[in-house]
Amino acid sequence: MVKIDKLELGEFPLLLAPMEDVSDPPFRAMCKELGADLMYSEFISTEGLIRDAVKSREKLDIYPEERPVGIQIFGHNKDSMMQSAEIVESVHPELLDINFGCPVKKVVSKGAGAGILQNIPLMEELTKAVVNATKLPVTVKTRLGWDDTTKSIVSTAERLQDVGIKAISIHGRTRKQMYKGEADWSLIADVKNNQRMNIPVFGNGDIDSPEKALLYKERYGVDGIMIGRAAIGYPWIFNEIKHYMATGKHLDPPTIAERVRVAKRHLELSLEWKGERRGIVEMRRHYTNYFKGVAHFKEIRKVLVQSEVPNEIFDTLAMVAQKSLTGEIKMMKTL
């Protein structure tokens, strides 16, 4: 049983990675329904949180059905980090996560996210401050290092454990790599195999199939896997991985009717949480992925992304489901 402090997550948990503009409560709810074991929020600016910025506060929302949830914060100022930890604690997530891995320039340039990888002593100091400021279990998500010359993740993980974190998730790239090249899980394995480490170590990067998930589990010995981009528009990947690990067989891919069901529910939650205008607009980015592989979907997608009226979108989705039953809309054949 993998445990983060007292939180039990099963034998080999699958975590939904925190992704800006993706990992909001509606999407997390769908991933939870389809097999994810632990959700993470979009990352939240500590400066925005302590200034009571609407967008930052909104990211603290949690649906009961999506728990357990970790709220993720990023920042570079100790006082702001500590104040933010107290604010996060007030909404009662299962844990608080610190983002030391975001490679985006506007975050890094402020010394936050992966920018902190250029100053490991400060990384340790900020982590200790957050741990001391909250009763929540604190976890960290980070990368191997700043660049190829600074891959100090083994010693860095030790230092973070020593100041009190309860788990660590490691993306197998440096900041300089961004998302390019292949993720190097060998250093993640080195962290896990370090005899001084006694907290869960989760691997992240490039997991996009059940076969790869099982291979990396067996090859690198991590306690669980964090999945990001592969889940966008395809939350079924969590259950598919679990089924393959348990049986060695593939689940049947989601039917068009099932894709419609999930897209419809996602839209309902999006409208509920964001309001009509934002709910419609921000859902548009998901349709292409939800219906990837559906033959002749281009014209249908045009209606979905151009419509301004919820009922028109729901009617279009219902039409897709109905035509899939009559065979008028089919999945493209794969080799």
Spatial distance between the Cα atoms of 290 and 105, rounded to a whole number of angstroms: 29
Alpha-helical regions (H) of the chain: 25-33, 46-50, 54-58, 78-89, 105-108, 120-133, 153-162, 186-193, 210-220, 237-247, 256-274, 276-290, 298-306, 310-326
Q: What is the DSSP letter of 20?
A: T
Q: How many angstroms from the chain centroid is the CA of residue 287?
A: 19
Does residue 31 carry a catalytic annotation? no
Q: Which residues contact 178 (CB under 8 A, 6 or more apart)?
A: 103
How far apart, in whole angstroms, are the C-alpha atoms of residue 212 and residue 221?
A: 13
Residue 279 has which token pair? 């709910």
**Token digits for 27?**
């999407």
Distance linking the first and last C-alpha atoms of the chain = 39
- Burial label for 89, CB within 10 Å (0-12, 13-18, 19+), is middle
Residue of 62, 102, 138, 260 marked catalytic: 102
Please name the residues in contact with 27: beta carbons below 8 A apart, sequence gap of 6 or more.
235, 266, 286
Q: How many CB atoms lie within 10 A of CB 193?
A: 12
Active-site residues, by number, are 102
